[in-house]
Amino acid sequence: MKAVIFDMDGLLVDTEPFWRKAEIEVFAEVGLSLTENDCRETMGWRLAEVVALWHSRQPWSEPDLKSVEGKILNRVERYIRHQAKPLPGVAEALELCKSLGLKTAIASSSPMRLIDAMVDRFQLRAEFDGIYSAEHLSHGKPHPEIFLNAAHGLDIGVRDCLVLEDSIHGMVAALAARMYCAVIPAPEDADKAPFAAAHLQLNSLLELDAKHIGGLG
């Protein structure tokens, strides 16, 4: 391995509760009564895809889709900047990568402003060699474009990259990019059968060690 690519939501920071809270609040304003399970259905999707899905299922006339996206995004950014906490093992995983001489990057489906909010709150910007968002790419996960973009930016071959992911969509994207993938699902998702496709499954970033990384490839 020459590089480790980190997802953000659900891996570095538990933003999923913020997303669910913001989506439930904003979609309620246009007449949709979403549950937390409804929101989990679109975990790992780009925001535009989430809004388009719910509009297709239960159309509303006003405000337009971009306005709804903006409202959700504003709320999530506010929650991240004021309430977010790093998940266990973030500092240790980054230190491990540094000790092994590996390049590091974030590759997230989230808009760049949310990635910026997270790295600023945790003061992690200097810890990454690249920060990439799928916001303006043609495709979101499970398409591999975001990971291919990150590998290109790092100037590292895909078979020399390890992706750390928490979602099935993200895992599929990493495998489609022909990269190695370690999954760290939320406890309630850990037994889902598709995760067996990953090269490695851990309970938290605290479990990641040099043997895991060295054993790939």
The residue among 173, 172, 168, 105 whose CA lies nearest residue 145 is 173
Q: Which residues pair with 161 in a beta bridge?
A: 3
The answer to whether 209 is a known catalytic residue is no
The answer to whether 14 is a known catalytic residue is no
Strand 180-183 relative to strand 200-201: parallel, antiparallel, unpaired?
Answer: parallel
Number of H-type helices and E-type strands within the chain: 9, 6
Calculate the alpha carbon distances from 184 to 43, 115, 152, 179, 211 in Å: 14, 19, 24, 16, 17
Determine which one of 7, 14, 64, 120 is catalytic: 7
Determine which one of 9, 38, 64, 120 is catalytic: 9
Three-state SS for 84-142 is: CCECCCHHHHHHHHHHCCCEEEEEECCCHHHHHHHHHHHCCHHHCCEEEECCCCCCCCC
Q: Count the neighbouring beta carbons within 10 Å of the beta carbon of residue 34.
A: 18
Burial class (CB in 10 A: 0-12, 13-18, 19+), 126: exposed
Q: Which residues are catalytic?
A: 7, 9
